[in-house]
């Protein structure tokens, strides 16, 4: 009888403390489903995008070089905001403290020379402010935010140095060079480090290689390579994993726009294939909002421009 009473007491404590509460299974990013959202008002490619809350800000790009559009993921609708201070494609943008920071890029489809411009957009005031120029011109790189700094990774027009911008002082710092020169790449932040994902370089072709930057040591390290060579692709972090989508291959073979998707799991240090996109695309940003992946615009013509303005939304199973 004493044993039975003791078991009842233990069972009650377990119930009250939740020690045996059911564990919610993680979503499977490799077996998700794709659907379409509202089409962009200005179909574009080779642009950049930033998520602030439920809103995605899309900056510049071919066929909309000075356009700023906002996609509301909650209402599946688009709106247009104040035009950028200048025309740009292949820009690099990121968000910090509720504002959109836009760097570099080239001016037009006829002028591919990289620029060193830096601007910030304030959504609350619908205004642009010019910042201190980058220390060198860059285009077709990537911008990410880590802690209280903004980093510019890769791109053409300058050196291989990682560029760090301090929004508090409006000043730039040069940091360690990437191991390989790379452009047309996305970069993401995961576990306090910056991941530079594949890309390409003239004379070397497209990459599968992945480099990781540790801000504590100012060093780059080569990590597990992706399964496929790809450049001009998009990438974002969902549920502690990196999801990379699409891109193109043309330097290393016949032009093809990729529809393949890969997921990197840092726990196993492996890349796995996920559900393919409905169409091959390159030159498009990929943004995560509320554990969904949004692929915005892009071109379905490898080594060319064929903008359809589609919005593809990926949700894990």
Q: What span, in angstroms and rounded, lies between the C-alpha atoms of 272 and 274?
A: 7
Give a three-class secondary structure readout of 12-55. Answer: HHHHHHCCCCCCCCCCCHHHCEEEECCCCCCCCECCEEEEECCE
Task: Give the ranges where the chain is alpha helix by DSSP (H).
Answer: 2-17
Cα separations (Å) of 150 from 62, 94, 165, 169, 188? 25, 8, 5, 12, 12
pLDDT number for residue 26: 60
Kindly state the DSSP code that residue 152 receives in the 8-state scheme. E
pLDDT number for residue 123: 98
> Whole-prediction pTM value?
0.91
Q: Is 243:261 a contact under the CB 8 Å cutoff? A: yes
Kindly state the DSSP code that residue 180 receives in the 8-state scheme. S
Q: Label residue 57 exposed, middle or buried (CB < 10 Å: 0-12, 13-18, 19+).
A: buried
pLDDT in tens, 101-139: 999 999 999 999 999 999 999 999 999 999 999 999 999
Strand order in the sheet with 55-59: 48-52, 55-59, 68-72, 77-80
Cα separations (Å) of 168 from 9, 132, 274? 57, 12, 40
SS3 10: helix
SS3 6: helix
The phi, psi pair for 4, rounded to 5°, reads: -65, -40
**Of 102, 87, 139, 89, nearest in space to 305 by CA:** 89
**Residues of the chain predicted below pLDDT 50:** 1-25
**Of 214, 211, 212, 256, nearest in space to 231 by CA:** 256
Domains and CATH numbers, the chain: 32-315 (2.120.10.80)
CA end-to-end distance (rounded Å), the chain? 48
Q: What span, in angstroms and rounded, lies between the C-alpha atoms of 161 and 220?
A: 11
């Amino acid at each position: 009888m004493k044993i039975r009473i003791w078991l009842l007491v233990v069972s009650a404590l377990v119930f009250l403390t939740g020690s045996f509460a059911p564990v919610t299974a993680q979503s499977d990013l490799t077996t998700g489903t794709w659907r379409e959202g509202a089409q962009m008002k200005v179909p574009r490619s080779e642009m950049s995008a930033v998520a602030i809350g439920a809103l995605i800000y899309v900056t510049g790009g071919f066929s909309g070089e000075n356009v700023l559009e906002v996609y509301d993921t909650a209402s599946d609708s688009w709106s247009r905001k104040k035009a950028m201070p200048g025309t740009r494609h292949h820009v690099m943008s990121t968000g910090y403290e509720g504002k959109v920071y836009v760097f570099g890029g080239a001016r037009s489809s006829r002028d591919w020379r990289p620029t060193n411009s830096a601007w910030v957009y304030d959504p609350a005031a619908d205004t642009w402010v010019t910042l201190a120029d980058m220390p060198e011109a860059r285009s077709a790189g990537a911008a990410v935010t880590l802690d209280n700094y903004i980093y510019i990774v890769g791109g053409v027009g300058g050196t291989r140095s990682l560029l760090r911008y301090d929004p508090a002082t409006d000043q730039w710092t040069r940091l360690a060079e990437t191991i390989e020169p790379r452009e047309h790449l996305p970069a993401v932040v995961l576990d306090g480090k910056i991941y530079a994902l594949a890309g390409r370089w003239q004379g070397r072709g497209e990459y599968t290689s992945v480099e990781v930057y540790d801000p504590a040591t100012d060093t780059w390290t080569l990590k597990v390579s992706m399964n496929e060579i790809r450049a001009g692709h998009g990438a974002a972090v969902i549920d502690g994993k990196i999801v990379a989508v699409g891109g193109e291959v043309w330097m290393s073979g016949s032009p093809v726009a990729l529809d393949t998707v890969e997921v990197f799991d840092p726990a196993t240090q492996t890349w796995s294939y996920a559900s393919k996109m409905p169409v091959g695309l390159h030159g498009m940003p990929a943004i995560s909002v509320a554990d969904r992946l949004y692929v915005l615009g892009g071109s379905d013509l490898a080594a060319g421009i064929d903008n359809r303005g589609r919005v593809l939304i990926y949700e894990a199973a």
